[in-house]
Amino acid sequence: MSFLDLMSKFVDKKTACSIFGHKIVTVRNVTNHFKEYKCTVCQVELTNDLQDKKTFLTPRLKEINETLLNHYTRKHLSSM
């Protein structure tokens, strides 16, 4: 049993992340520069901003990432 699993029995998951930090994994590569991330402990979703800092993934940013992904894939398919 890991330390985070043990802590989650006594402390809320969001509180554990605020104390020990998020355990972030990459969920989806939108482009070479933009990615979507998710914390494996508290399930918070994040993405990159223009300064390459991680920000919370709002519905508006999720829609922007979808549009960016569609544009990026069409551009690469047309160049082949």
* The predicted structure's pLDDT at residue 79: 73
* Contacts of residue 12, Cβ cutoff 8 Å, sequence gap at least 6: none
- Burial class, 16, CB count within 10 angstroms (exposed 0-12 / middle 13-18 / buried 19+): buried
Dump pLDDT digits (tens) for 13-48.
777 787 888 899 999 999 888 999 999 988 899 999
Q: Which residue has the tokens 């993405």?
A: 47
Q: Which residue has the tokens 């999720």?
A: 62
Residues recorded for the chain: 80
Confidence bin at 7 (pLDDT 50/70/90): low
pTM equals 0.77
